[in-house]
Structure 1
């Protein structure tokens, strides 16, 4: 049996370690991955972070980012590292399908697989699991893993703290979501004491938009926003032509859905975007409304109660229409 004692024993000696996270990584995915990376290298481990795909440029300043391997750009190097690894840390995802083509490599590896995650219904591919759906971010769980399971609080240095703070800040919507508990604030205080410069991190993540991104956001709000007051719901639907017109890059669509949710009477917001291969949905909700249930039931996805995502092979128009047809089923929850 591979338990905490076995993992701790392995980590007493330098190991070849791969850290990976879900495709199109966000702030929590990269913050938790690089936070763990900066912890492990202090102990002499040969650790590398492999991201399945690219990720937003506003995360490129994170300590250790220069050593990240993007799988789609360096497949052979990434495959060799995975094949040679003794341990693979799987962060911020709960199923191998979330890492695209890498899933087959990770699943076929003889390495011990450690899942650190806070998503519902984890698949059974891991050997050790540090998992809690009540955590506001995977970065919170990485902190807990380092400090309370491995008892290495002294190794939470400025680089580790900066990365973990970024993960918690972004996944908690700047500490605004209901799962931002007093425990989370105490962890954040520890991270600031360890060297995380909170105001600077906020500036780097949220105040680094390009002109194109701002013009795209303006287009979304002025021309793509549809409000359905009878369901307290708002939809922003964006076509592939819109993305091309504003030269949208990875990360430019991040957070757009939150503007729709910010309206006083809106309880459910949808950002529906037409990509080259499929249509993707991002849902956000307030209170007890189960955004994740809609994504899981109708759009091949899932997530958290108030933040979820999915996709469809149908056209943009068909997906928007399908989403609208679902709303009467949830009307009582939406208007209460």
Structure 2
């Protein structure tokens, strides 16, 4: 958490006559949107209105969240976003550890006069005016809840805030399955339920909305899943033309990588996907136990994240990327 002195300084910054902006990362996920909207709704207890900004569009299955449609998407509204950042007094940076994770917004925020406050659970954060970084916590939404506790408003948050924070914790813990999910996490979830978050409705709104095209795309990927390294590593992949054939929409492949870990005996799963617009391979890694895919991705695939969940990229073709990955994982100490 922030130091006592930092908290006192932050509290003085949070005033209803201040322009508050909340920004999250490129390709926003449930934790990014949930933490941003959860904080926005909670700040109203202090009579503060905040503007939420994301670099690009986010999946439809997250747009049910209260006021999600009011989020400013920089790709679509650059002028309005630029003005909001330029005029901001305080910018909350949620669920990313470096300004490079937010594309061109990083340059704008770097030049802005606003005080920058980082709340994030990824490793190796950059310097901001104030930093709350804790890699042991499973979701930025949980960190936002702890921050609200220090502001003495966590117990008063609205149903809307509770729903958003619940969603982010649920999605970033894989439905409360990942090992970083603690007793404290569950106590917070219980508090959010008491504030009106409905687990059945939230999980249904977020996960039970598959299109036929998405299920057919999933069937294609799972139909050719490959297991290497004596069954310890699962590999899934997808080409651009295949995504186009099935009417790809943002978020359509979310969660595909997790299916590799459901195979008995696997310790690591990797999903390789040609970017739908640019010429590179987007990679998602998931792992169990002490298999550090964060360091693996940093070492070999220009990425990073958490010990058991990370992302990366490759400039090679998908065929060459898969060959390189297979060669790496067959080495005895490939994670080092």
TM-score > 0.5, shorter chain as reference: yes
Structure 2 gap segments, 5+ residues each = none
Say yes or no: does 1:212 pair with 2:181. Answer: no
Q: Could you tell me how far apart the structure 1 residues matched to 2:231 and 2:211 are?
A: 34
Is this contact kept in 1: 2:41–2:161, CA < 8 A? yes
Say yes or no: does 1:273 pair with 2:298. Answer: no
Match of 1:292 in 2: 294
Is this contact kept in 2: 1:4–1:128, CA < 8 A? no
Which secondary structure state, in structure 2, belongs to the residue aligned with residue 115 of structure 1? strand
Q: Could you tell me how far apart the structure 2 residues matched to 1:233 and 1:135 are?
A: 26
Q: Could you tell me how far apart the structure 1 residues matched to 2:89 and 2:242 are?
A: 45
For residue 333 of structure 1, report the CA deviation from its aligned partner: 7.4
Match of 2:81 in 1: 78
For residue 330 of structure 1, report the CA deviation from its aligned partner: 4.6
Match of 1:134 in 2: 136
Match of 2:47 in 1: 44
Q: Could you tell me how far apart the structure 2 residues matched to 1:297 and 1:117 are?
A: 22
Q: Could you tell me how far apart the structure 2 residues matched to 1:333 and 1:119 are?
A: 19
CA deviation vs aligned residue, 1:161-215 (integer Å, no higher than 9, x gap): 0000000000001101111110000000000001100111001111111111001
Q: CA RMSD in A?
A: 1.6
Match of 1:198 in 2: 199
Q: How does 1:14-163 map to 2 (within 5 A)?
A: 14-124=17-127, 126-147=128-149, 149-163=150-164
For residue 257 of structure 1, report the CA deviation from its aligned partner: 0.6
Q: Could you tell me how far apart the structure 2 residues matched to 1:202 and 1:45 are?
A: 29
Greater alpha carbon shift after TM alignment, 169-178 vs 312-321: 312-321
Which secondary structure state, in structure 2, belongs to the residue aligned with residue 256 of structure 1? coil
For residue 302 of structure 1, report the CA deviation from its aligned partner: 0.1
Distance 1:13 1:271, change over 3 A: same
Q: Could you tell me how far apart the structure 1 residues matched to 2:24 and 2:114 are?
A: 16
2:308 to 292, 298, 306: 306
Q: Could you tell me how far apart the structure 2 residues matched to 1:55 and 1:28 are?
A: 12
Is this contact kept in 1: 2:45–2:157, CA < 8 A? no
Q: Could you tell me how far apart the structure 2 residues matched to 1:231 and 1:328 are?
A: 11
Structure 1 gap segments, 5+ residues each = none
**What is the total number of aligned residue pairs between the two structures?**
331
Say yes or no: does 1:171 pair with 2:175. Answer: no
Match of 2:223 in 1: 222
